[in-house]
Amino acid sequence: MTVTRNIVDAAHLRNVAIIAHVDHGKTTLVDQMLYQSGLYREEELTKLAGGQHGLILDSNDLERERGITITSKNCAVTYTTPDGEAYRINLIDTPGHADFGGEVERVLGMASGTLLLVDAYEGPMPQTRFVLQKSLERGLKPIVVVNKVDRPDARPQAAVDEVFDLLVDLDAPDDVLDFQVIYASAREGWATLNLDEPNDNLQPLFDQIIGQVPPPHDGSRMDDPLQLQVTTLDYSDYVGRVAIGRVHAGVVRRRQKVQVIDPSGSSSSRQISQVLAFEGLDRVEVEEVAAGDLCALVGLEPIEIGYTVTDADSPVALPSTPIDEPTLHMVFRVSDGPLSGQDGKFVTSRQIGERLEKELRSNVALRVEPGDSQEQFRVSGRGLMHLGILIENMRREGFELCVGKPQVILREIDGQKCEPIEQLVVDCPDSCQSAVMSLLGDRRAELVKMSSRSQTSGFVHLEFKLPARSLMGLRSRMLNATQGQAIMHHTVLGYEPVKGEVPQRAMGVLVANETGQATAYALDALYDRGIFFIKPGDQVYEGQIVGENCRGGDLVVNVVRGKKLTNMRASGKDDNSQVRPVRQMSLEASMEYLEDDELVEVTPNSVRLRKSLLIESERRREARKKASS
């Protein structure tokens, strides 16, 4: 049913993007704004969130499991001021992890202002710098929201000072340096302009959005020819692709004939079948949406992100948003192990290729190229988590595949080979500072800044600059060196000439030499050889990596050997078998652990490490070839 809705005057419209580092409370704040706007009752929001502690906008399973936002989302709230004026606020929730920066870059074009969330204890972090820089490049002035001020170790004033220093470092203009500060607790649902004046709701935040965020400047272009750029894509089983964007000029109407222009300049005629506007968490079908507002369009297939929907009589394309290039690539290939095809539904190179092509339609920071053979694809992304989320989604959809070791993408700048350089921030206890410095010193890291967070916490804040390839396998070693107490975050700074060698994995691996079921008897006999990734009863095959050797170099072992049955009484009992606790290897941990001659085999039910060449004689022959060359 089509809803007849009056066009919102641009003066009463606000488009706001909420940006922050991961886990600083963006999605929690949006949930509270939805609740306090009066659109939903608390029971409805709890049901939408999937439980008492769920988040509404973290809608897919991976987002709720990991507690992070992966894809940007739109919603709208209506706020009535104490004077009785009604405003519509379009909220854009953005990812906080650096690997999903492509999502942030493309959706900032829909916003007229930003809410910059900063944790009252942690202050600005690497991703804060990244998203803030992108918003400043678009001329968006931030409202600084210091969240989690109710934390026992909160230091809100120090966090505000650090935000100011960051803005100065980013060469922000003087009017941006004079930013408004709001202190808030998103979890408790309150905000205040002064910590000495407590509050019990988010009204000060709504008032500052109305007062500080400018109305969309293109709202005065209602009489111009239509211009809308697609920044997000959605899909419905009933209507196909749904194109989401901001109307930059004119009015978009239902059943309107338009021209769709792709970034290369070619255009084609289409007709809009439905125009959807945002109301709370829902999309309602309306007759028209005017310049300055956000909307979703149905009936324009085929359409991609970056396309311009424009007037049929006077088509004018909008400039496409430049997206930062990927920094990491991996080889995706068909799984050819002995256990392939037993778990998954999609195992062929054609099916994998089609799935990657589908991902390219909405994942603007991803690149896919042909590999060395027809069974391989070279997939490039922003980071390990960016590619890991893609692989995890494919695994849950029923795909089986193998992926190789992540490699950084080198560039040639002014005739010199350069590599990506990252900023790494580590918060760790004072007692672990030496271990952290020693670990990063071996990986060609340069200490940029060191400070103490507070006198009572006993934590030290360290900032480093290091090559991106030095981060491979660093997280597990960092957690081991600090007894699991270190907190790490990183983001790409730029490109610099290639540094020297970075230490590789110090220990070798234990490689199975037979196919079968692992036995406690065999694992007991190998107790002192290292740490195992498998447990008794697991199915293994020749060439599978079953554990980490306790010394350098690979060791071929038999983990399926059973105890010979005789009629002689044994002096000991099988119950006395000693098996070390298994090291659980997640998908990201397995990807970090790899060396050049190894693969991760991913299936819907398991994640296994294996050698590229499964047969031991073939691995030896390959090693001799490399040594002779």
Which residue matches tokens 């969130």?
49
Burial label for 581, CB within 10 Å (0-12, 13-18, 19+), is: exposed
Selection from 363, 400, 377, 446 nearest residue 610 by Cα: 400
pTM: 0.77
Q: What is the pLDDT at residue 71?
A: 57
Domain 219-311: CATH class, spelled out: mainly beta
**Using CA atoms, how far apart are residues 446 and 318, in angstroms rounded to an integer?**
42
What ranges do the domains of the chain cover? 10-215, 219-311, 411-497, 509-628
Specify which residues 114 forms β-bridges with. 17, 142
Q: What is the pLDDT at residue 401?
A: 93
Whether 187 and 215 have beta carbons less than 8 Å apart is answered as: no
Specify which residues 253 forms β-bridges with. 288
- The answer to whether 147 is annotated as binding is yes
Whether 430 and 458 have beta carbons less than 8 Å apart is answered as: yes
Q: What is the pLDDT at residue 539?
A: 92
Q: What is the pLDDT at residue 511?
A: 93
Q: How many residues does the chain have?
A: 629
- Tokens, residue 180: 């408004």
Phi then psi for 152, rounded to 5 degrees?
Answer: -60, -30
DSSP state of 554: -
Q: What is the pLDDT at residue 51?
A: 47
Whether 250 and 312 have beta carbons less than 8 Å apart is answered as: no
- The answer to whether 441 is annotated as binding is no
DSSP 527-540: GGGEEES--TT-EE
Whether 185 and 252 have beta carbons less than 8 Å apart is answered as: no
**Using CA atoms, how far apart are residues 591 and 570, in angstroms rounded to an integer?**
43
**Using CA atoms, how far apart are residues 53 and 66, in angstroms rounded to an integer?**
13
Burial label for 288, CB within 10 Å (0-12, 13-18, 19+), is: middle
What is 10-215's CATH number, 3.20.20.80, 3.30.470.10, 1.10.10.10, 3.40.50.300?
3.40.50.300
Specify which residues 492 forms β-bridges with. 422
Whether 10 and 88 have beta carbons less than 8 Å apart is answered as: no
- The answer to whether 563 is annotated as binding is no
What is 411-497's CATH number, 3.90.79.10, 3.40.50.360, 3.40.50.720, 3.30.70.240?
3.30.70.240
- Tokens, residue 615: 């047969």
- Tokens, residue 593: 């652990």
Q: What is the pLDDT at residue 541?
A: 92
- The answer to whether 6 is annotated as binding is no
DSSP 170-185: TT--HHHHS--EEEEE
- Tokens, residue 364: 């603007």
Phi then psi for 406, rounded to 5 degrees?
Answer: -65, 135
For the stretch 214-223, what's the b/e string if a residue is b when 16 or more beta carbons lie within 10 angstroms of its beta carbon?
ebbebbebee
The count of C-alpha atoms lying within 13 angstroms of the C-alpha of 558, restricted to the half-sphere facing its C-beta, is 6
- The answer to whether 251 is annotated as binding is no
> Helix (H, G, I), strand (E, B), or coil: what is residue 248?
strand
Which residue matches tokens 């220093």?
165
Please give the CATH architecture assigned to the domain spanning 509-628: Beta Barrel (2.40)
The count of C-alpha atoms lying within 13 angstroms of the C-alpha of 512, restricted to the half-sphere facing its C-beta, is 28
Residues 6+ apart with CB under 8 A from 202: 32, 33, 36, 184, 189, 190, 191
**Using CA atoms, how far apart are residues 55 and 100, in angstroms rounded to an integer?**
19
Question: How far from the centroid of its chain's Cα atoms is residue 462's Cα?
Answer: 23
DSSP state of 498: -
Residues 6+ apart with CB under 8 A from 478: 426, 436, 439, 486, 488
Residues of the chain with pLDDT under 50: 1, 51-54, 58
Which residue matches tokens 């500060």?
181
- Measure the N-to-C terminal CA separation of the chain; round to a whole number of Å: 71
- The answer to whether 150 is annotated as binding is yes
